[in-house]
Amino acid sequence: MRTRLLLVFAMLAIFATTVFAIPLLIERSQSRTQELVLERSADLRRFASLADDYASTVREQRLRGELDAYTELYGEPVLVALGTKGHQLNTGINIERAEVTELIANTIRNQPAPPVKALSPFSAKTLLVAQPIGADSQVSGAVLIQVSTARAVADITRTWIQVAILAVAALLVFGAIAQLLSRWVLRPLSQLNQRIQQMSSSLPFIHGRQADTTEHEQAFGPPELRTVSHTLDSMNSALSASTDAQRRLVADTAHQLRNPMAALQLRLDVIQATQTPEQHDAVSHAIDESERLNAILDDLLSLARVESLTLKAPVPESCDVLGVVRERAENWGPVIEQSSGTVTVHDTSALVIAQCKKHLLQQYLDILLDNAAKYAPGAEIEISVSEKSATEIHLVVADHGPGVADERLGRLTERFYREGPSADRSGTQTGGSGLGLAIAQAIAQAMEAKLVFSHNEPQGLRASLILPRGSGGKGKP
């Protein structure tokens, strides 16, 4: 990737330098060429005037002296050709050259001279320029100067070299900047790769476990990004293995502890049958604790099973939310009534279909209703189902119990979170494992739903489950 970045920077640098350098070189060549042509045009006009005077007054000696002096001073030969008399005054131009003959003929015919091409360091050492003698139809000859381009070419070459040196210097500076910029851009990527590798090496089950490299080998793109992708794949494999091992450890531990707990419970039952009055309180406390431990083991097994569902791709399945709500409310009604509470379902008499599994939704409602019955005894429990949008269905279980403090709302789904005596909202010290709402949260994740807790008005706790809408829509049952 660094090579590609440097290549892009180099292309941009070359393009930018070329855009500025080439017009500068062309402008300098054209301006110096024009300057040279203008200087010689003045000389041509002067010699043409003298030659015209020579043609009318026959002052050849004066004209020849001017031509010789000019050639001696500037080193540029001059040719004066009088077409009317066939007479020529020449200080060194080779008249047998085809271009000289053609230029004389065209000038005498008063044809416009072709534009002079801009000089360059590779141009010829001489340049022919011409001026007709006379004007309009009274052209009597031509004046030619064989101009030396040595000084002009030297000036242009000097300018070109200076521009080239500046361009190379600019490219070197830009290259240094490109190096620093590429390192700055790629440094976070390199650091990310190192940190991911360090994290992967610190995870359990990373050693000896190979990630699937088929996709990595077939991937395209810069080597740095392919390396990061491969490292992420390896870490993902390690995380999956570690998470799966942790879940199996919890499940296996809970399962293995059930047998000793069952034996312990059996022995406590035997002791309870033969206890003395002095042992009653101790035995009762031991039985309560064993029952609590059994409940925790059951919840751990449930949590492990539910969390295993979140590791698998969900299979689309729909169910009637209201039907499940009515069923669970009817089953929990007598239990809640025993604590002087009531459960009310706000029935819309309509079919509300959500994308969820029926047995998971039943388990979720059992947890929420059990939690409300324990921690809000004697309070009214309300269950409502509504379609908030075309894609969301809200299932709300709200109680009018004592509620939860603001600082505790965000911790309700933490595992084993218990604040005060049994984390009891009602003050009745009702026992609990601290895993119920954590299991409810895991069930929500398994159904690709969102569980949100908030305060109920005027008091109590409100649990809102936001479910994705399933196929079937809404209609009359």
What are the DSSP calls for 406-426, one per residue? Answer: HHHHTTTTSTT---SGGG-SS
Which neighbouring-strand residues pair with 281?
Answer: none
Of 338, 368, 375, the residue nearest 436 (C-alpha) = 368
- Residue 151 has a pLDDT of 92
Cα–Cα distance between 442 and 448 in angstroms, integer?
A: 10
CATH value at residue 286: 1.10.287.130
User: Is the CB of residue 73 less than 8 Å from the CB of residue 152?
Assistant: no
Domain residues for the domain of 98 are: 2-157
Return the sign of the alpha-carbon dihedral for residues 110, 111, 117, 122.
negative
pTM: 0.47
Does residue 122 sit within a domain?
A: yes
Q: Same domain, yes or no, for 385 and 439?
A: yes
**φ/ψ bin of 309: left (φ > 0), alpha (ψ from -120 to 50), beta (otherwise):** alpha
Q: Same domain, yes or no, for 292 and 338?
A: no
Does residue 204 sit within a domain?
A: no
Phi/psi at 325 (nearest 5 deg)?
-60, -45
Cα–Cα distance between 282 and 59 in angstroms, integer?
A: 150
- Residue 129 has a pLDDT of 92
User: Given the DSSP bridges, would you call strands 380-387 and 351-355 parallel, antiparallel or unpaired?
Assistant: unpaired
Q: What length is written for the chain? A: 477
Chain centroid to Cα 160, Å, comes to 43
Q: Average pLDDT for residues 73-88, to the nearest whole number? A: 81
Q: Same domain, yes or no, for 282 and 233?
A: yes
Q: Examine the fold and report which residue of 137, 157, 177 is the final residue of a domain before the chain moves on.
A: 157
Q: List, for residues 27-68, the tens digit of each pLDDT value.
A: 999 999 999 999 999 999 888 888 877 755 556 778 888 889
Number of domains forming the structure of the chain: 3
Return the sign of the alpha-carbon dihedral for residues 448, 452, 457, 461.
positive
**DSSP reduced 3-state for 222:** coil
Q: Examine the fold and report which residue of 307, 328, 354 is the final residue of a domain before the chain moves on.
A: 307
Q: Same domain, yes or no, for 334 and 299?
A: no
Cα–Cα distance between 426 and 400 in angstroms, integer?
A: 11
What DSSP state is assigned to residue 476?
Answer: -
The token duo for 435 is: 């895993």
- Residue 71 has a pLDDT of 92
What angle separates helix 223-273 from helix 280-310, to the nearest 10 degrees?
150
Q: Same domain, yes or no, for 288 and 383?
A: no
Does residue 296 sit within a domain?
A: yes
- Residue 163 has a pLDDT of 93
Q: List, for residues 118-138, the tens digit of each pLDDT value.
A: 999 999 999 999 999 887 778
The token duo for 300 is: 């751990």
pLDDT at residue 189 is higher than 90: no
Q: Examine the fold and report which residue of 105, 138, 157 is the final residue of a domain before the chain moves on.
A: 157
Q: Same domain, yes or no, for 286 and 321?
A: no
Q: Same domain, yes or no, for 320 and 299?
A: no
Taking the CA of residue 5 as centre, how many other CA atoms within 13 Å lie in the half-sphere pointing to its CB? 17
* Count of other CB atoms within 10 angstroms of residue 426: 16
Q: List, for residues 428-470, the tens digit of each pLDDT value.
A: 444 556 778 888 888 888 888 899 999 888 888 999 999 988 7
The token duo for 352 is: 């509300």
User: Is the CB of residue 304 less than 8 Å from the CB of residue 245?
Assistant: no
Q: Same domain, yes or no, for 233 and 332?
A: no
Q: Same domain, yes or no, for 471 and 379?
A: yes
pLDDT at residue 283 is higher than 80: no
